[in-house]
Amino acid sequence: MTVEEFLYFIILPILALSILLVFYRFLIGPTISDRIVAVDLVVTIGIGVIAVYSIQTNQPTFLDIALIFGLIAFLGTVAYSTYLEKRKKK
């Protein structure tokens, strides 16, 4: 089994299943904090999918896109957390 076959037949289905489970958590999350963490995790799994696609197509430019998504997700999570903290204090 080559690396490409391993990525295609094992890693991508695991990532797809994990996105479904996290999306389910996003829908039933009782608090907004659960939903924020779920959205951050979906973006992180999406970064993994982009990385796998980059390896399969042998185009490292997709890794730059994944890095940008990671930075945006981090900043979004920090912004939501700051908003929640300020909302609780009032």
Instruction: Give the pLDDT of residue 90.
Output: 65
User: Given this model, what pLDDT does residue 88 score?
Assistant: 75
Collapse the DSSP code of 58 into the 3-class scheme (helix H, G, I; strand E, B; otherwise coil) and give the result.
coil
- What DSSP letter does each residue of the chain carry, written as one string? --HHHHIIIIIHHHHHHHHHHHHHHHHH-SSHHHHHHHHHHHHHHHHHHHHHHHHHHT-THHHHHHHHHHHHHHHHHHHHHHHHHHHHH-
Predicted confidence pLDDT, tens digits, the chain (90 residues): 888 888 889 999 999 999 999 999 999 989 888 999 999 999 999 999 999 999 999 999 999 999 999 999 999 999 998 998 888 776
How many C-beta neighbours within 10 Å does residue 36 have?
19
Q: Please tell me the pTM assigned to this model.
A: 0.87
